[in-house]
Amino acid sequence: MILPIKEQKWRKNPFLSAFIIFSFMAENGNEAMKGKYESAVPVYYYKPTHRDCQVLREQWIRAKYERKEFCEAVNSFRYEEGTRDGVLMKRGRDNGQFLSRRFVLSEREGTLKYFTKYDAKEPKAVIKVDTINATFQPEKIGNPNGLQITYLKDYSTRNIFVYHENGKEIVDWFNSIRAVQLHYLKVAFPGATDAELVPKLTRNFLKEGHMEKTGPKQTEGFKKRWFTLDHRRLMYFKDPLDAFAKGEVFLGNRDHGYSASAGLPPGTHCNGAWQHGITIVTPDRCFLFTCETESDQQDWLKHFNDVMSAQMSPQEFTSEDSECRLWQLVIP
């Protein structure tokens, strides 16, 4: 039996919140709960799993059971208002300090802008929503509500790290970005279904972590760097919070000359601290990396080979033709 508990107690006591939710599920069954509290979830709204960070999971629960946002269909959700205007704390590119910055998300323009001053007339950056990825990174950013926004700038990846003290606010920004992206995709691909378009919205990185790398001559010393695998793009940074990737490589399909294997070519002088090698072969050159442990090596290889085994979309063929060689040449 569910006791009549006031909403303010629910808000202040997470253990009580959990008790209420589990009581609901025990009494009504999980499927019945979904039928009632998830009957009108918009397709772009990100449904977190147990692997996602706390703020995503908490706000998903609150949206369903506390605010009852998805119990019945409405004309539009607040994520679909067309324009979102507010202040987020943004990490400085050079000094690493978090300062308040005004952000404006526009569905009509298909852009996300940010301003260094709230009343500034010109934005510091104008970002096209079709180039944006956003993923929560609380540990990397050092804030439980930390969000990493990445986008392409002159074929190179730019990172923006932001947070908001209010968990609901940062998750609302995240889902508003997804709503605008879906609107853009529906205009760009009018014949596509929601099932085809939703996977093209924001996505979590496939893998991140440190590896050592050498340069194109393969005689340079191996240096420890931070790597991010974002679908078919492998990027590396000197520091996980760098604003720009120092190098990127496009990972195409294995039928087009791409492969990843354990070990290094014979005669490679591995002067780094790590000995578990990986060789990535592309149509233009080879890339050599080393991992600290064999398990880490095997995990990277699994992700590389999964990507290379997947069929490429027409957009990815375009990326390969126009950006692949530039990205590969960037890596020193």
Distance between CA atoms of residues 207 and 209, nearest Å: 7
Structural domains of the chain sorted by starting position, each given as residue range(s) with its CATH number in brackets:
7-66 (no CATH), 78-200 (2.30.29.30), 207-330 (2.30.29.30)
| Secondary-structure breakdown of the chain: helix, strand, coil percentages, each rounded to the nearest 5 | 35, 25, 40
The tens place of each residue's pLDDT in the chain, 332 residues long, gives 344 444 444 455 555 455 555 545 554 556 767 778 888 899 999 999 989 999 999 999 999 988 998 887 766 788 888 899 999 999 998 888 999 999 999 999 999 999 999 999 999 999 999 999 999 999 999 999 999 999 988 778 899 999 999 999 999 999 999 999 999 999 999 999 999 999 999 999 999 999 999 887 766 788 999 999 999 999 999 999 999 999 899 999 999 999 999 999 887 877 778 999 999 999 988 999 999 999 999 999 999 999 999 988 766 665 555 444 444 434 44
| Residue appearing with tokens 């990490």 | 91
Q: What pLDDT does residue 13 have? A: 55
Nearest partner of 146 among 232, 240, 210, 69, judged by Cα? 240
Q: What pLDDT does residue 326 have? A: 40
**Residue 100: partners with Cβ closer than 8 Å, 6 or more residues away:** 87, 88, 89, 90
Q: What pLDDT does residue 224 have? A: 94
Q: What pLDDT does residue 216 have? A: 73
Nearest partner of 274 among 292, 262, 301, 261, judged by Cα? 292
The SS3 assignment for 131 reads: helix
Q: What pLDDT does residue 16 have? A: 47
Nearest partner of 37 among 60, 70, 7, 10, judged by Cα? 70
Q: What pLDDT does residue 319 have? A: 58
Q: What pLDDT does residue 172 have? A: 97
Distance between CA atoms of residues 232 and 239, nearest Å: 21
Distance between CA atoms of residues 158 and 163, nearest Å: 17
Q: Residue 165: how many CB atoms within 10 A of its CB?
A: 10
CB 164 within 8 A of CB 55: no
**Residue 25: partners with Cβ closer than 8 Å, 6 or more residues away:** 33
Q: What pLDDT does residue 60 have? A: 94
Nearest partner of 304 among 209, 203, 233, 243, judged by Cα? 233
Distance between CA atoms of residues 202 and 184, nearest Å: 13
